[in-house]
Structure 1
Amino acid sequence: MSAPTAKSDLPKTPWPGTYADPPASLQLNGESIDLPVIVGSEGERAVDISRLRASTGLITLDEGYVNTGSTTSGITFLNGEKGILRYRGYPIEELAERCDFIEVAYLLIYGELPTSDELNTFRHSLSQHSMIHEDMRSFYNGFPRDAHPMAIVGSVVGALSTFYQDSLDVRDPDQVTVSVHRL
């Protein structure tokens, strides 16, 4: 499949949540409080009100949270009003149309779309680690037929470590890679 055309061309900040100058100034009862302005991952600006309550005793009201960012992120960008959703700078609709599952999995794990060589190496590693232990069959068969799929997935992911004790050291990058590829 062909990769998305390009990442977003919008201006980038050095890291998400960079503070901009000058701060926003809020006037309340003849007093002024300065609130930091944060520049987001795609140049959008936000007023950081996290100290507002402690400084003034006031909270904000934003019904439906339509003007509220819950966190800073260098990974995703969302603007529902304009229909924009990007992951790592790539428009989601382009990822869905132009990338296959393995390419998107690589993006989720490594933060960039793979080159042709990286994709081939990744596919090979996935195929090498895709076989599961035969005893996992009885594990799957132990679930009720009407069990929720996510409950099964959570249980199976936890159980994999009992079958593959050769890759449990979270400080060893090679073992982590093998475990990720097994999942």
Structure 2
Amino acid sequence: MRGNVPMTKEEVRVITLAKARLAPNHVVWDIGAGTGSLSVEAALQATGGFVYAVERSPAGIHLIQSNMKAFGLDNLKIIEGVAPEALDELPDPDRVFVGGSGGHLTGILESVYQRLLPGGRIIVNTITLETAAHALELLQQFYGDVDAVQISVARVVKAGASHLLKGMNPVTVLSAEKRANY
């Protein structure tokens, strides 16, 4: 289910989840969860773990609730609030997705770095060049090595008797791992 809330496209979710390298027992934070599409996919993979979907939008929260019910998930909890403050009471994570920051990217990434377990991974999805550059700078500062890929997806649309590939907005996916000694 989607409504008018931004949803991570399937192709971007697949790559984001691959970068996460989830294990069944992981604790996952999905910050700026939107519709919860990544939260749901993560909960389906981390069956012995737990996923926390952090979202501030009432419409997004409603959609996440609907999607939780549709998929019968009991290892997914919605945290209503604004990050980084909304993260304070959560257990330390093994994996973190950042899909939206509401202008609080620096505070979110600082908080995540302090709480992410050694060997943990963070994945930040961005759509603007400014956010990608800022996230890259912060992730390099905190984690050293950062992987970055840009995903450009095109979908087939009908144009009269023909079909065209219509490009969607590219998404930059940045990922890093917290080393024990960094």
Give the TM-score range, shorter chain.
under 0.3
Relative to its length, the structure with more strand (as a share) is: 2
Q: Using CA pairs below 8 Å that are at least 6 residues apart, which structure has the higher relative contact order?
A: 2
- Structure with the bigger percentage of helix: 1
Query: Based on CA coordinates, which of the two structures has the bigger radius of gyration?
Result: 1
TM-score (norm 2): 0.21
